[in-house]
């Protein structure tokens, strides 16, 4: 396995797997280009070396082969702009076949080719070796810069690597940074290590919490999932979100935490509402004394104070999941306060990793993305990494 920064791409065609699965509006305008901008450094390094770049990506979940809605042609213009407006960006209306092969073969140094959506072929998600082999013939070097798909054993994210020698397959700059940050949290964390886990359901986060019990000193639980724990302990949670079939699981997690001397922190107070709406009546209430007909939609001021203090004493911080329904202004104070506490701890020397769609959306919403150590682009991949699973996209490069 080569290191991307040390590799010289002069005269070579680099086949780069990127994650250009960006949201589009009805007029095919990109509404969030974060995933595209994240890979620009990798593309420019190859071009600056005197290499050419062949990009492949999935886009959406097309069911019946090629459709205009899921064509990557809609991204060409914006990619051209992101690269400075001077770089030729070509598009192939297929990802394998004669047109793709011909365009790739004619590519000159400093030029970029974007291939059509790899998911137009069912072979992509099946991890078909023959399809991966066809893709591999387009480039001299394989670069995986799509951390967001690293947990998928698909043709273009994992299987393709076997067709390149170990010195001709590598992570791109984004993938390198993602892997390095995740490994720092899981394997080189300084104590105290605080994991902040939020979101709606305990069932979505059981594996990550259990794995973190072996590493973290403190686990803060917020969001809707907190009320399953509070009810399991005998609290009254009114109409708050609760997974009744996970009450025993919640108690088992609390027991395991005690055995391992890990402190699990649940919100002592909540901002409760009489309905799930932006204009609901709200009040502050102990989280285990929520009246019937009311629901917890954010952590309360006392919980904010306690959680912030724990975070600011930490040396390593992982944040995955919001503290409440932060999309509504009435219930965003908790998530905002946690984001500010993570930023403050980072300024005092802590290493902080924010990952998972809602947490990333929160730090962006509150303009704090640059105040934390690292913001991950890989939602599902990051979650599976912290659950302790082997990610095929990483394994294929390292093998």
Cite the annotated binding site by residue number.
19-21, 35, 58-61, 119, 152, 205, 296, 327, 356-359
CA distance 38 to 175: 10
CA distance 347 to 75: 37
**Pair of tokens at residue 99:** 């047109």
Active-site choice (13, 35, 215, 246): 35
Give all strands (DSSP E) within 93-175, no chain letters.
Answer: 112-115, 141-144, 169-171
> Residue written as tokens 């797997």?
17
For residue 353, give the nearest of 148, 179, 221, 170 by alpha carbon. 179
HEC sequence for 163-231? HCCHHHEEECHHHHHHHHHHHHHHHCCCCCEEEEECCCCHHHHHHHHHHHCCCCCEEEECCCCHHHHHH
Q: Which residues contact 170 (CB under 8 A, 6 or more apart)?
A: 1, 2, 3, 4, 7, 141, 142, 143, 144, 397
Active-site choice (41, 315, 357, 365): 357
Contact between 342 and 309 (Cβ < 8 Å): no
- 380 catalytically annotated: yes
CA distance 29 to 33: 10
**Pair of tokens at residue 4:** 């991307």
- 201 catalytically annotated: yes
- 51 catalytically annotated: no
CA distance 78 to 46: 19
Contact between 315 and 350 (Cβ < 8 Å): yes
Class of residue 308 by CB neighbours under 10 A (exposed 0-12, middle 13-18, buried 19+): middle
- 357 catalytically annotated: yes
- What count of residues does the chain have? 399
Contact between 266 and 209 (Cβ < 8 Å): no
Q: Which strand (E) or helix (H) includes residue 384?
A: helix 379-386
Binding-site positions for ATP read 205, 296, 327, 356-359
**Pair of tokens at residue 149:** 């798909």
Active-site choice (201, 256, 302, 315): 201
CA distance 214 to 167: 35
- Residue 256: CB atoms within 10 Å: 15
Which residues participate in catalysis according to the annotation?
Answer: 35, 201, 357, 380
């Amino acid at each position: 396995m080569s290191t991307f920064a040390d590799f010289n791409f002069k005269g070579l065609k680099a086949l780069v797997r990127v994650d250009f699965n960006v949201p589009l509006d009805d007029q095919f305008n990109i509404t969030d280009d974060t995933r595209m901008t994240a890979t620009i450094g990798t593309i420019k390094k190859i071009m600056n070396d005197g290499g050419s770049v062949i990009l492949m990506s999935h886009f959406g979940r097309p069911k019946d082969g090629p459709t205009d809605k899921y064509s990557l042609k809609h991204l060409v213009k914006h990619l051209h702009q992101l690269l400075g407006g001077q770089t030729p960006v070509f598009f192939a209306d297929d990802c394998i076949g004669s047109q793709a092969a011909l365009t790739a073969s004619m590519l000159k140094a400093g030029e970029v080719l974007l291939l059509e959506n790899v998911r137009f072929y069912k072979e992509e998600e099946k991890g078909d070796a023959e399809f991966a082999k066809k893709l591999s013939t387009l480039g001299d070097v394989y670069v995986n810069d799509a951390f967001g798909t690293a947990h998928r054993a698909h043709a273009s994210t994992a299987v393709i690597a076997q067709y390149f020698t170990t010195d001709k397959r590598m992570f791109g700059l984004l993938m390198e940074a993602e892997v390095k940050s995740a490994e720092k949290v899981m394997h080189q964390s300084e104590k105290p290590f605080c994991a902040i886990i939020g979101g709606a359901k305990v069932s979505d986060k059981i594996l990550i919490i259990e794995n973190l019990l072996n590493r973290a000193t403190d686990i803060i639980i917020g969001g809707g999932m907190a009320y399953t724990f509070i009810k399991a302990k005998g609290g009254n949670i009114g109409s708050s979100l609760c997974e009744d079939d996970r009450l025993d699981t919640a108690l088992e997690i609390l027991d395991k935490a005690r055995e391992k001397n890990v402190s699990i922190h649940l919100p002592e107070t909540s901002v409760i509402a009489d309905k799930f709406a932006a204009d609901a009546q709200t009040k502050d209430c102990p989280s285990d004394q929520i009246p019937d007909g009311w629901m917890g939609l954010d952590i309360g001021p006392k919980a904010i104070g306690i959680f912030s203090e724990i975070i600011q004493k930490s040396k390593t911080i992982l944040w995955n999941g919001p503290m409440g329904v932060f999309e509504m202004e009435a219930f965003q104070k908790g998530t905002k306060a946690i984001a500010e506490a993570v930023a403050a701890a980072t300024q005092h020397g802590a290493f902080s990793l924010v990952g998972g769609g809602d947490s990333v959306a929160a730090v962006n919403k509150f303009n704090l993305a640059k105040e934390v150590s690292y913001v991950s682009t890989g939602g599902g991949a990051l979650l599976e990494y912290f659950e302790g699973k082997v990610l095929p996209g990483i394994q294929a490069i390292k093998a």
